[in-house]
Amino acid sequence: MFPDFVSNRFMITRNFVAKLAGCCNATVAEGHRQLLMMKTWIQRSVICHLQQCYENRLKILASLKAAGGNTYPHKFQVSMTITEYIEQYRVLSDGNHLKDVEVSLAGRFMNKRISSLKLYFYDLYGGGLKAQVMADASDSDMDEVEFAKYHSGVKRGDVVGICGYPGKSKRGELSAFPKRFMVLSPCLHMMPRQKAGPGVENTSVKKNEGKTTPDIWVPGMTRNPETYVLKDQKVSKLHVSCVPFYGVQRLLFRVETPMMNMIAGGPVAKPFVTHHNELNMKLFMRIAPELRLKLVGGGLDRVYEIGKQFRNEGIDLTHNPEYTMSEFYMT
């Protein structure tokens, strides 16, 4: 029998396998077979664990909904973005708190640190930047028992909104001190832990306050839109100026999504049907880009697309089966 061990990076050289085989009085081929079996077992165990985590979070949301809680609030008004927050309040001195100023921020929690049942630290990401959230029971509208119970259910990956005041910790880190705290969209899947990628120092991964995320994406970090911007993206942003209400200052990112899909999703309309010879499957020409744009929105706060849509319906002076439309989403 081989010794039981589990490794995140399952890379074992032939020499090591030979040593294991010698210790176990087995052949090298048998050693490889045992290791492959162990790798398969590990992968299946991880998949089962992730599936169990997903099901448990669904049950928690169902229980909250049954108790009358609002698991997906309709709207949360923000007063500024995380980028604007950092630019405006980064000049505060260490330990300075502006308790007479109220700010509303929203973003995704990527890290959670528990100091005590009365104090929680979060890393709030948005627009490629990070701001620390220092949730203290003494500042919250909740009592201590309710505060501890609520924050124990907040998970990494949740999209949240906070209302509080700005300040800096004694160590000089810009933070937001929430009085009101709301989970806007719970994360149902377990997020990967943040690890340093190749060529990225641990210090540069952790200490990225007020700076864009590194060029190399590593697990646990939000998307960095600048990494995916095309050479003509600055020109593409100008297209939004044709929508007077939003304007260029909104910085919506223009994206392209597939025109052929396995399902005809979105609005109620009759689609054009085509056949993919290589994949030997039936596909539908899109009737709207909204489903794909909503998926892209996870991590990209503002996206839009100008593209063709196809609807296999009637023709008149104001309707055509093939037409161009612009659709945008903003969180």
pLDDT above 70 for 299: no
Pairing of strands 281-285, 260-261: antiparallel
CB count within 10 Å of CB 250 equals: 16
Rounded to whole angstroms, the Cα distance separating 257 from 293 reads 7
Give the three-state DSSP class for 27. coil
Query: Bigger pLDDT: 100 or 238?
Result: 100
Rounded to whole angstroms, the Cα distance separating 31 from 2 reads 9
Nearest by Cα to 207 from 133, 132, 156: 132
pLDDT in tens, 102-117: 999 998 888 889 988 8
DSSP 271: P
Residue 302 confidence (pLDDT): 77
pLDDT above 80 for 54: yes
Give the three-state DSSP class for 303. strand
pLDDT above 80 for 238: no
Rounded to whole angstroms, the Cα distance separating 280 from 309 reads 23
Give the contacts of 81 (CB within 8 A, at least 6 positions apart).
105, 126, 127
Confidence of residue 48 (pLDDT cuts 50, 70, 90): confident
Range from 131-140, 144-153, 230-239, 293-302 carrying the lowest mean pLDDT:
230-239
Report the chain's mean pLDDT, rounded to a whole number.
76
Residue 319 confidence (pLDDT): 87
DSSP 279: T
DSSP 317: T
Q: What is the DSSP string of 107-170?
A: EEEEEEEEEETTEEEEEEEETTEEEEEEEETTTSSS-HHHHHHHHHT--TT-EEEEEEEEEE-T
Confidence of residue 195 (pLDDT cuts 50, 70, 90): low
Give the three-state DSSP class for 238. helix
DSSP 42: H
Range from 28-32, 92-96, 164-168, 269-273 carrying the lowest mean pLDDT:
28-32
pTM score, two decimals? 0.65
pLDDT above 50 for 275: yes
